[in-house]
Amino acid sequence: MTATAGIPHATRPAAEDYGPGVAGFEASGGDWDEIAREAIGEERIVVNMGPQHPSTHGVLRLMLEIDGETVTEARCGIGYLHTGIEKNMEFRTWTQGTTFCTRMDYLAPFFQETAFCLGTERLLGITDDVPERADVIRVLVMELNRVASHLVCLGTGGNEMGATTVMTIGFTAREEILRIFEAITGLRMNHAYVRPGGVAQDVPADLTDQVRAALPKVRGYLRDLGDLMLANPIFKSRLQDVGVLNLAGCFALGITGPVLRSAGHPYDVRKAFPYSGYETYDFDVPTDTASDCYSRVVIRLEECYQSLRIVEQCLERLDATTGAPVMVADRKIAWPAQLAVGGDGQGNSLDHIRRIMGESMEALIHHFKLVTEGFGVPAGQTWQTVEHPRGELGVHLVSDGGTRPYRAHFRDPSFNNLQAVSVMCEGGQVADVVVAVASLDPVLGGVDR
């Protein structure tokens, strides 16, 4: 591009002058700033934010068309974390399916497990046979998991805006909860603990004391997060009136969870379609009407307090049902058998192994067939939803009467919520894109499943 004295102007030459697919300008006369403004003003700039960008964790691509610092178009590119979990579940038994679906949204594994098992139990017709203690344990781990998931959302969101202390406090609080999960299931994540008919094993004898000791610590960390964020003028200026998505937009796009509740609608599956005895627990559904990123932070913090309120009720019920069964009585469904933690880790208890290996050939045969072949599920289909930390999680299960799902499809809330990226980001600043996406709290393991 050249400039000569005279009246400034820029003209686009024929494409063949520069070769196919190459655009160029010939400029002459005047100041460079005026020529550049005239020429470049005709061009749109497309920026790829991801999949390598830190705020997208390497698994989400944001394609932004920008005019200066203003985003004129925003699109999502997904599929970088595809695992084929749903398809793999068609080649495993119904019990083994929990091992796959727990890995979808890896920050909230208990919700996928519970939704899948509730659907399986409906197909089996044993919903009312699940022991009360098993339902209480399911509610306990889900509500603790909700707090842990929200802590990651708040912590990583703060870190992406440069507030490192928010991240360190959030993850320190989450460690308290992960220690409880490890005591219950033997694992910090990817538990496969919830099983069709109940849960894999009872909680440790001292679990209620352990949880009661951890709750004040978690509450203290939540108060610290609130003090750091909610009244912070820098934090508020970065989030208020940013990423606005009103109630009509949420309805049009199928948005659920904290994003929907930040627009004023109190929809919560635990209240609208109760499961696992949620109708018997006392808790509130927080809402706001600002519809922006700041209101979603407020709602997630309040949801953490409500979840801890439910956890305290679960502890009372666990104390009252000590020694009660945690799996259905039908031994044709209850799998695996008697788990225990021994010197070599978690597995079947020595008493159970001694019985099936040395005392009862029938028990050994039954155990072998149940584990290798699985149980049959009557032909049919069902739809089951639960209130996931990111919104409504649904599972559509289809059985052809065999020992494996004919089809298992999940409605992951992160997948639906990502539809809102363009509405929330277009017309805003490039710096606000990360804030808006963080307020959606997407986990791409659930999106790409």
The answer on pLDDT for 191 being more than 70 is yes
Give the pLDDT score at 372.
Answer: 84
- At 391-430, the pLDDT tens digits run 999 999 999 999 999 999 999 999 999 999 999 998 888 8
CB atoms within 10 A of CB 148: 28
Give the pLDDT score at 256.
Answer: 94
Q: Give the residue with greater pLDDT, 142 vs 187.
A: 142
Q: What whole-number percentage of the chain has pLDDT above 90?
A: 58
Give the pLDDT score at 160.
Answer: 84
Give the pLDDT score at 3.
Answer: 40
Is residue 12 very low, low, confident or very high in pLDDT (cuts 50, 70, 90)? very low
- At 280-321, the pLDDT tens digits run 999 999 999 999 999 999 999 999 999 999 999 999 999 999
Identify the DSSP state of 419: G
Look over the chain and give the mean of its residue pLDDT values, rounded to a whole number.
85
The strand pair at 26-28 and 45-49 is best described as: unpaired
Q: What whole-number percentage of the chain has pLDDT above 70?
A: 85
Domains along the sequence of the chain with CATH: 1-43 (no CATH), 88-330+374-448 (1.10.645.10), 336-369 (no CATH)
Q: Give the residue with greater pLDDT, 53 vs 370.
A: 370
State phi, psi for 63 to the nearest 5 degrees. -100, 110
- At 319-341, the pLDDT tens digits run 999 989 999 988 888 875 566 65
Give the pLDDT score at 342.
Answer: 58
Give the pLDDT score at 14.
Answer: 44
The answer on pLDDT for 68 being more than 50 is yes
Instruction: Report how far residue 444's alpha carbon sits from residue 104's, in angstroms, rounded to the nearest whole number.
Output: 8
Q: Is the dihedral of CA 96, 99, 105, 109 positive or negative?
A: positive
Contact (Cβ atoms closer than 8 angstroms) between residue 179 and residue 189: no
Give the pLDDT score at 364.
Answer: 76
Q: Is the dihedral of CA 35, 38, 44, 47 positive or negative?
A: positive
Length of the chain, in residues: 449
Mean pLDDT of 96-105: 92
The answer on pLDDT for 220 being more than 50 is yes
Range with lowest mean pLDDT among 2-16, 136-150, 414-428: 2-16
The answer on pLDDT for 102 being more than 70 is yes
- At 20-67, the pLDDT tens digits run 444 455 555 556 556 555 555 556 788 888 776 656 667 888 888 888
What is the pTM (predicted TM-score) of this model? 0.85
